[in-house]
Amino acid sequence: MLDQWMLDPACTYLNHGTVGAPPKRVLAKQQALRDEMERQPSRFILRDLHLEQPAPWRAQSRLREALEYVAPFVGAKANDLAFVSNVTTGVTAVLRSVPLEPGDEILMTDLAYGGVALAAKSVARERGATVRTVATPFPLCSGQEIVDTIANALGPRTKLVVVDHVTAYTALVLPVAAVAAKCHERGVPVVVDGAHAPGSIPVDIPSLGVDWYAANLHKWAYAPRPCGILWARPDRQAVLHHPVASWGYEGGFHEEFDHLSTLDPTSFLAAPEGIAMLHEWQFEDVIAYIHGLAWEAAEVLTTRWGTKVDAPRSMNGAMVTVPLPESAGSTVDDATRLRLQLLVDDHIEVPVHPWHGRLWTRVSVQVYTERADIERLAEAVQRRCA
């Protein structure tokens, strides 16, 4: 399947989860959209894109048309969705729309993505509120431990809980529906960081019972960068505002998020092409392959390195985070050095980071990944840690 991508065949690419990689066909679709836009820029942007000016030839805007195709892929209605550049933008919109007073708190775990954590810190500082980060059990043996940790941390001033659907560094699939149920028992709304979810696991957003859900399509759903979505429960949409006030300001959920200042919308409009490819390749088969190979990677790497993964297989999807041998080191400098050696000398692109006193690597598995790629990583690390 590697020939479907622009990826350098000389590099073993085990880092799909970081910024994604759109297939050639999706990039071709995006370029065709750009060519169309440049033939009549004003018509494309002002009329076709979001019907800013009359366009009697269109029943709906091109943005809404694209969302109609995207919505079923995440189990949602298009009316409850908007395009955003990425998850951080979507979560920031929620953070800025939740009433916060001095002394209130935003609650998240130590598994939260750094960019989202910084966005929460920024908003809390402006409002005189605080961000409380709770430590998750280590080693983590079940999803229920996450649910209990968050539920036990809820306090009288907790106004919002931010939780990952698939964690960035540990690559664990968290039980967000159970977390939301516990939070709602205490009257606390929940926003989900679903950056790694659509395309890597089946997603049905409304069934999760959350209040807001932000996700990227440019990671696992094959969309060009940048391309994300923000879902809001219907009763939460009226108070939701885009973090950048522009032409759609105070026009409602759709207007605020659809009608921004000039941007290149082709990544949004090409998103349906990526989802179409997943459907054509049988999404269930794609999921079965990448989940199976990810767990196989965990088994191969831990066996070769003499380490172990504590979290159950049910909490792993298309990525797996594996501890490296203790001899690999434990510091940021150790991680930086090893990752660079793997990239420059071994032509392997894979994240390495310190956590809980040792180094870990997160392996992303895509349909272009083979067991031989995993074996290559196992051997390279083993050789460097000998």
Residue 67 inside a domain? The answer is yes
* Cα–Cα distance for residue pair 23/18, rounded to 1 Å: 15
Q: Give the pLDDT score at 139.
A: 84
Q: Give the pLDDT score at 386.
A: 79
Per-residue pLDDT tens digits for 222-251: 999 999 999 999 999 998 999 888 888 888
Q: Give the pLDDT score at 252.
A: 87
Q: Give the pLDDT score at 273.
A: 98
Q: Give the pLDDT score at 259.
A: 87
Q: 215 is written with which tokens? A: 């996700």
Per-residue pLDDT tens digits for 42-101: 999 999 988 888 888 888 899 999 999 999 999 999 999 999 999 999 999 999 999 999
Percent of the chain with pLDDT over 90: 87
Q: Give the pLDDT score at 125.
A: 95
DSSP 196: T
DSSP E strand boundaries for 94-207: 105-109, 130-134, 158-164, 190-194
Radius of gyration of the chain (CA): 21
- Total domains in the fold of the chain: 2
Give, in order, the Cα–Cα distances in Å from 305 to each of 70, 169, 301, 347.
Answer: 41, 19, 6, 20
Per-residue pLDDT tens digits for 158-202: 999 999 999 999 999 999 999 999 999 999 999 999 999 999 999
Residue 34 inside a domain? The answer is no
Per-residue confidence band for 23, with pLDDT thresholds at 50, 70 and 90: very high
Per-residue pLDDT tens digits for 97-135: 999 999 999 999 999 999 999 999 999 999 999 999 999
Whether residue 141 is found in the same domain as residue 108: yes
Nearest one of 201, 207, 150, 213 to 314, comparing CA atoms: 201
DSSP 349: E
Classify burial at 191, counting beta carbons within 10 Å of its beta carbon; exposed 0-12, middle 13-18, buried 19 or more. buried
pTM: 0.95
In 3-state terms, what secondary structure has residue 78? Answer: helix
Whether residue 197 is found in the same domain as residue 57: yes
* Cα–Cα distance for residue pair 228/212, rounded to 1 Å: 13
**Mean of the per-residue pLDDT values for the chain?**
95
Give residue 308's domain range.
282-385
Nearest one of 167, 135, 139, 129 to 148, comparing CA atoms: 135
* Cα–Cα distance for residue pair 219/267, rounded to 1 Å: 12
Residue 21 inside a domain? The answer is no
Residue 26 scores a pLDDT above 90:
yes
CB 318, CB 286: distance < 8 Å? no
* Cα–Cα distance for residue pair 20/31, rounded to 1 Å: 18
Q: What is the CATH number of the domain that holds 318?
A: 3.90.1150.170
pLDDT, average across residues 135-157: 92
Whether residue 243 is found in the same domain as residue 290: no
Per-residue confidence band for 290, with pLDDT thresholds at 50, 70 and 90: very high
Residue 219 inside a domain? The answer is yes
Q: Give the pLDDT score at 55.
A: 86
Whether residue 237 is found in the same domain as residue 287: no
